[in-house]
Structure 1
Amino acid sequence: MLPMNVSIRCLFFLACLQGGLSALAADQPNVLLIMADDIGIEGLGCYGGTSYQTPNLDRMADDGIRFTHAFAQPLCTPTRVQLMTGKYNHRNWRSFGILPPDQTTFGHRMKSAGYATGIFGKWQLQSYDPPDYPSADLRRATGMHPKDAGFDQYALFHSLHTEDKGSRYANPTMLEGLAGSDGELKTYAGRYGTDIWVEQILTFFDQHKGQPTFVYYPMALPHHPFEPTPASPGWDPSLPPPAQDPKFAKDMIQYMDTAVGRLLDGLKQRDLDQSTLVIFYGDNGTHQQVRSSMDDGRVVSGGKGLTTQTGIHVPLIAKWPGHIRPSVSNRIVDASDFVPTLLEVVGATVPDDQQLDGISFKGDLLGAPTVDRPAAFFWYDPRPGWDKDAFTRSVFAVDRGHKLFRDGRLFRLSDLPLQETLIDRDDWNDDDRAAAKRLSLVIAEQMAGVDEPPLVDETGTPVDPAVDPAIDPAIDPAIDPAIDRRR
C-alpha cells in the first residue's frame, strides 16, 4: 500500500490528466492564512447567519470552497498551538497563553520550504499570566517569543507580558521586529489595529514579490472588548473607548469581513490573486455574550470556551482562482490538519520522523479524492492560566452525526448546524451504538501510549484525579470492552 502522501499525489495527477483542474504552476504558490478570533459559523452569511453583513467572505465562499464540518478547540491558545504545530494538545500542552519554545511551527516549515514568512496580528503565546496571579512566576515568559517562531517579520499584539499589551483596536500597540530580533513596541496613535495589519501584510507581499510568500494573519477581530470600529458611527480614537458592550459585536464582525475584502482586493490589484491560496478559519466559537440569528429562524448564543457545537464548529473557506473550483465540502477538518496541508500545497515533504496528527486536505482544495478524516479529536484543558479556572478537562471526538466524550456521554448532531442532543444510554439506537464504538476507538487510538499532561488546578498545582470533578473518567466499558482505557 502506498504511503498516504504518495497516494494523494497520484490521485491528483490522474485528475489533471482527465482534464480536471489546471495543474499547479511551476512556481510555488503564495499562501495567506487568516484566522479570526472568536467566530462560529453563525457569524457568516454563507453558513446561514443573518445578523451580520459579510459580503466579502460570502463571495470568497462562492468563488472557492466552503467546508461544512471544520472544527477548532473551544479557546484560542489550544487551537493556535494545535494549528501551528500540527499536534493535538495532549502532546505539547503546558498552560494557557504558552507555545512551548521547543516546538516546530509552520513558520519554521514554510521557511525551510523556501518561503518568505510573515506574521501579523495577535500572538499571546509567550507570557500570559499577570504577575499577581498564583504561581504565575512558574509560567511567565516561558513560551515562544515571535522572533523564534520561524517568521522573517512580525508585528503582533500581546507578544510580551499581559500587563504590557496595550490595545489591539484603537491606538494599537504591537511588537514589531525581524527574525531573531527582540523587536520594538510601537503604538499607533489615532489608528486602528486591523487597518495597520492589513497594510503591513500587503506591504510584505510587495517586498517579496517574485519569491513564494507565506503570511499568517491571526486577526484580533472580533474578540472582546466589544468596541466601536472605524466603520461605527462616532468612532473617535482620540477619546477613551466606551464601556465594552456586546452591541458592538456586529460592527466588529462586519469589520472583520471588511479586512478580508481589503486583503483580497489588494492581492488582485497586485496581480497576485491567481498565485495565492487564501484560507479563512476561526479559532473557536463566538463569544457567549453574542446572540446571532440563523436563516432557519433560530437565535444562537455563542459558545466560546464550551465543548458544545457552538464552541467548536467554525468557518473554513479557501480561495485560489484557477485551482479551487467553487464547491462545498463536508470533509471533517480540525486545526492539526493545516501543517500537512500547507506543506503538500507548496510541494514540501511532510515529515514522518515527528508526531503529526494532521491529515492533509489538499486534495479537497484541488478537487482530487483524498483519505477522509473519520472524526475530529479533542484533548481540551486550558488550565492553568489566569481566568481559566472555570474550565475543565474534556476529551472527546466528533464526526458528522455524533459527539462522544471519554466519560461516555453521547450527543446526536442534527442536520441543523450547531444543534446537538444528549442521548440517555437507555435510548441509544443502533446508529448511536455504532457511533459510540467508532468514536471511542478514535479516542483510544489518540491516547494510546501518550503520557497525558498531569491534571492541575487553575494555578498549575497537581491535583488528585479521584477528587477533582474536572477529570472525565475513561470510556465506559459498556461501549466497547476491548478499548484500552488508560488516561
Structure 2
Amino acid sequence: MMKKWKSPVLALAVVIATIAAFAGTSRLIAADDRQPNIVLIMADDLGVEGLGCYGGLSYATPHLDRLAAEGLRFSHAHAQPLCANTRMQLMTGMHNDRNWICFGIMDPSEKTFGHYLKQAGYKTAIAGKWQLQSYDPPDYPGSEARRGIGMHPKDSGFDQYALYHSLHTEDKGSRYADPTWLEDGTLIKAEGQYGPDQWVNYINEFMEREKANPFFVYYPMALPHWPMNPTPDSADWSDPAKRFEEDPRYFKDMVEYMDKCVGKIVKKVDDLGLREDTLILFYSDNGTHLTITSQTKSGPVAGGKGLPSDAGTHVPLIANWPGKVQPGVSDALVDSTDFLPTLMQAAGHPLPSDHDLDGISFYPELVGADSSAPRRKWIYSFYDPRPGWDKDQFTRHVSARDRRWHLYATGQLFDVEADVLEQQPITAEEDTPETAAVRKRLTAVLESQSQTDEPVPLNKTVQ
C-alpha cells in the first residue's frame, strides 16, 4: 500500500530524507564481514518506571540494568497503548491504520520481519506469546466473522516457533503455571512447569543449534502481563494449589522473573562466545497495567496500559552490542514501526530507498557512525483496538507527537514535559505563538499520515 500523501512538499521531503539515510549508512554495513545475530526481546505490559536503569525503585532488574549500563538506553521510545497494536506495527513496519483488521488478528498476507530476515539469510525463531489468530471467544458478538482467521505461526516467517495462544482463544490454556503452547505444530501442555522457562529454554537450544549461522530470535514475552500469579521464585510457588492465585502483589515477582529470563538468554549468548556478534534489543509493547503503581526516583508512577498518554506508550528500549554500540543514553524518538528497517540495516540488507513502510531505521543511532543521518522528528499513532473481546471499553485516538508536544486529531494539544498525565489540554483558542507553530507542524503530520478517517474495522477481510 502506497501512502496517500496529502502534502506534496512533505512527500518529497520524506523521499529525500529516506534516500539520504540509506546512502549515508550503507557504507557502515559493507565493512562487516559477518551478519550479526539479532535477539529482540519484548516485555508485555511494562512502562519505563519498571526498570532500575530508568529510575525505578520497586523492582530488582539487575540484568536489564547491566545491559543498559553497557549499551545504549533510549529515553524517548514509544509503543502503541496495547499489545496487539504494537506487535502489528513492530512486525510489519506499518502504522495500524494501514493493515489493522481487529484485535488479535494479523492478515496472513502480511510480510513480517521474520520473512525479511529469513530472505536475508538468517535462521529465525520466535518463542513466547503469539495471539494473532482467532482471538475472540465463540460467544462474543460478531466473533463468527473473525474466528479461525489471522496468521498462523507457521506462516509468519520463522523457521521454528514455540508460542502461547496460537489457536482458538478457548484452547490457549495457561501462559504461566502448567503452560500450554504450540511448538512447531505440536500442542504441548507441561504440568508442573512454568511457561517463560519453557520459551527461554527453546530459544537457548535454538541458538546452540544455529551458533554457526546468523540467527534472529524474537521473544515476545508473556511477562509481566496479567494474570498476576506466583513465579517459581515466589514463596507461594511451592504450593501447587496457589500457583493460579491472582493478586497484584505478585507483580514484583513477575517483573523480576522477566529480568531473570533476559539474563538467561544473555548468559547463553555469552557462553556460546557470540556476544560481540550479537545485537540484543529489549523493548516493551505498552505501559504497565492500570492496577499497578510503581515507585521511582521522581515519585510514584501509576500504570497506564491502554491510555494514549505517556503512561500507556512510554516504554524502555535498550540496545546492547559490545564493541559496536557504545554505552550511553539516546534522546532519539523511536516508534514500534522503526524496528523492521533497523533490523534489516543491522543485517546488512537495508530496505530500498523507495520502500513504502512507515518506520525509520535507528541503526545509525546504535553505531554512532553517521551524525548526519536523519532522526525521527515525530511519531504518528492511529490507535483503536476494536473490535475484539473486552476492547469495547477503548475509544479511537489519532495523534502525532514529538519529545515534548502531543497533538490529537480532536485538536487537543498537550505539553507533555509540563503535563505528563495530559490533564490540561491547550485548545487552538488558547494558543501562544509557540503552541500555534507546534500545532501547525503536528497537524501537517496528521494530514500526511492518516490513511482513513473512519473508525476500525477497516473495509478489509481475511479469507
- The question of a shared fold, defined as TM-score above 0.5 by the shorter chain, is answered with yes
Preserved CA contact (<8 Å) 1:171 1:237: no
2:399 corresponding residue in structure 1:
396
Q: Which amino acid aligns with 1:433?
A: A
Preserved CA contact (<8 Å) 2:47 2:284: yes
1:269 corresponding residue in structure 2:
271
| CA drift at 1:238 | 3.3
Asked if 1:291 corresponds to 2:293, the answer is yes
Q: Which amino acid aligns with 2:345?
A: E
1:244-295 deviation digits (Å, cap 9, x = unpaired): 1111111101111111111111111110111000000000000000100110
Q: Which amino acid aligns with 1:315?
A: P
The secondary structure found in structure 2 opposite 1:202 is: helix
Distance of 2:189 and 2:421 partners within structure 1: 43
1:483 corresponding residue in structure 2:
none
Q: 1:326 to 1:24 in 2, by over 3 A?
A: farther
2:34 corresponding residue in structure 1:
27
| CA drift at 1:431 | 2.3
Which of the numbers 65, 72, 79 marks the counterpart of 1:72?
79
Distance of 1:124 and 1:31 partners within structure 2: 23
Distance of 2:220 and 2:163 partners within structure 1: 9
| CA drift at 1:26 | 0.3
| CA drift at 1:332 | 0.5
Preserved CA contact (<8 Å) 2:236 2:243: no
Asked if 1:432 corresponds to 2:439, the answer is no
| CA drift at 1:422 | 2.4
1:226 corresponding residue in structure 2:
228
Higher RCO (CA 8 Å, separation ≥ 6 residues): 2
| CA drift at 1:239 | 2.6
1:412-448 deviation digits (Å, cap 9, x = unpaired): 11179x554523334433322221111111111102x
Q: 1:353 to 1:5 in 2, by over 3 A?
A: closer
2:10 corresponding residue in structure 1:
none
Distance of 1:42 and 1:262 partners within structure 2: 22
| CA drift at 1:10 | 5.4
Structure 2: tracts of 5 or more residues without a match: 1-12
Q: 1:452 to 1:151 in 2, by over 3 A?
A: farther
1:335 corresponding residue in structure 2:
336
Preserved CA contact (<8 Å) 1:175 1:186: yes
The secondary structure found in structure 1 opposite 2:63 is: helix
Distance of 1:391 and 1:381 partners within structure 2: 7
| CA drift at 1:102 | 0.9
Distance of 1:327 and 1:266 partners within structure 2: 24
| CA drift at 1:7 | 3.5
2:323 corresponding residue in structure 1:
322
Task: Report the more deviating stretch, 147-156 or 255-264.
Answer: 255-264
Alignment length (residue pairs): 443
1:19 corresponding residue in structure 2:
none
Q: 1:207 to 1:268 in 2, by over 3 A?
A: same
Counting only pairs closer than 5 Å after superposition, residues 193-272 of structure 1 correspond to structure 2 as: 193-236=195-238, 238-272=240-274
The secondary structure found in structure 2 opposite 1:234 is: helix
Asked if 1:135 corresponds to 2:142, the answer is yes
Preserved CA contact (<8 Å) 1:122 1:158: yes
Distance of 2:444 and 2:379 partners within structure 1: 12
1:158 corresponding residue in structure 2:
165
Counting only pairs closer than 5 Å after superposition, residues 339-378 of structure 1 correspond to structure 2 as: 339-351=340-352, 354-367=355-368, 368-369=370-371, 370-378=373-381
Preserved CA contact (<8 Å) 1:170 1:237: no
Distance of 2:415 and 2:349 partners within structure 1: 39
Distance of 1:399 and 1:45 partners within structure 2: 25
2:125 corresponding residue in structure 1:
118
| CA drift at 1:192 | 0.9
Q: 1:51 to 1:305 in 2, by over 3 A?
A: same
Preserved CA contact (<8 Å) 2:407 2:413: yes
1:473 corresponding residue in structure 2:
none
Q: 1:160 to 1:237 in 2, by over 3 A?
A: farther
Preserved CA contact (<8 Å) 1:42 1:48: yes
Q: Which amino acid aligns with 1:358?
A: G
Q: 1:456 to 1:321 in 2, by over 3 A?
A: closer
Preserved CA contact (<8 Å) 1:74 1:312: yes
Preserved CA contact (<8 Å) 1:67 1:329: yes
Task: Report the more deviating stretch, 283-292 or 429-438.
Answer: 429-438
Q: 1:166 to 1:351 in 2, by over 3 A?
A: farther
Q: 1:26 to 1:327 in 2, by over 3 A?
A: same
Preserved CA contact (<8 Å) 2:136 2:146: yes
The secondary structure found in structure 1 opposite 2:269 is: helix
Task: Report the more deviating stretch, 212-221 or 3-12.
Answer: 3-12
Counting only pairs closer than 5 Å after superposition, residues 101-116 of structure 1 correspond to structure 2 as: 101-116=108-123
Preserved CA contact (<8 Å) 1:90 1:453: no
The secondary structure found in structure 2 opposite 1:404 is: strand
Which of the numbers 170, 176, 192 marks the counterpart of 2:183?
176
Task: Report the more deviating stretch, 208-217 or 342-351.
Answer: 342-351
Preserved CA contact (<8 Å) 1:126 1:143: yes
The secondary structure found in structure 1 opposite 2:237 is: coil
1:484 corresponding residue in structure 2:
none
Distance of 1:286 and 1:422 partners within structure 2: 23
| CA drift at 1:194 | 1.0
The secondary structure found in structure 1 opposite 2:74 is: strand
Distance of 1:166 and 1:231 partners within structure 2: 22
Distance of 1:433 and 1:419 partners within structure 2: 21
Q: Which has the higher helix share?
A: 2
1:187 corresponding residue in structure 2:
189
The secondary structure found in structure 2 opposite 1:338 is: helix
Q: 1:200 to 1:67 in 2, by over 3 A?
A: same
Q: Which amino acid aligns with 1:438?
A: R
TM-score, normalization by structure 2: 0.91
Preserved CA contact (<8 Å) 1:93 1:453: no
Q: 1:404 to 1:9 in 2, by over 3 A?
A: closer
Asked if 1:383 corresponds to 2:386, the answer is yes
Preserved CA contact (<8 Å) 2:282 2:316: yes
